[in-house]
Amino acid sequence: MSLEIKVQEREPGVYLITPVGEINTDTALDFEKTSREFLPKAKAFVFDLERMTYISSMGLSSFFRIKQSIEEKGGTILLVHVSAQVQKVFDVVKIFSEAMMASLEQADEHLDSFLDDVQKGKIEPKSSSA
């Protein structure tokens, strides 16, 4: 199955990315490349996974690299509408459990709090060791 990627800027620097289909060996690099196009201006990525039907280890690696990149610049990543099947894959690596939200409304509340903390200087970019 192919992958379609929809991107919407919900507010300045907050991107809603909706993958439709499978993130597998054939599509993971395109998914990562599309997401990274918005990284320079991004404060947050919200991935709506309601229409993602499958994720492979390559897809998981792409999510991990995107997460690392945005966190290095002081941003965050959230996952919403994660199906039970896809959540099982994320649960194995345990690095996204705090990022999973049940709905876009819950993600918006979390982001409001996060962005407020960033603005107040409570959250700063991680130092890059590279």
Whether residue 34 lies inside any domain: the answer is yes
Helix, strand or coil for residue 66? Answer: helix
Domain containing residue 33: CATH number: 3.30.750.24
Whether residue 128 lies inside any domain: the answer is no
Neighbours of 47 (CB within 10 A): 26
Whether residue 129 lies inside any domain: the answer is no
Q: Which domain holds residue 70?
A: 3-119
Whether residue 126 lies inside any domain: the answer is no
**126 falls in which pLDDT band (50, 70, 90)?**
low
Could you read off the pLDDT of 48-73 as tens digits, one per residue? 999 999 999 999 999 999 999 999 99
Specify the range with the lowest mean pLDDT, choosing from 14-18, 94-98, 103-107.
Answer: 94-98
Token look-up 């229409």 returns 51
Whether residue 130 lies inside any domain: the answer is no
Whether residue 40 lies inside any domain: the answer is yes
C-alpha gyration radius of the chain = 14
Cα 125 → chain centroid? 17
Whether residue 7 lies inside any domain: the answer is yes
Number of domains in the chain: 1
Could you read off the pLDDT of 98-120 as tens digits, one per residue? 778 788 888 888 888 777 766 66
Whether residue 127 lies inside any domain: the answer is no
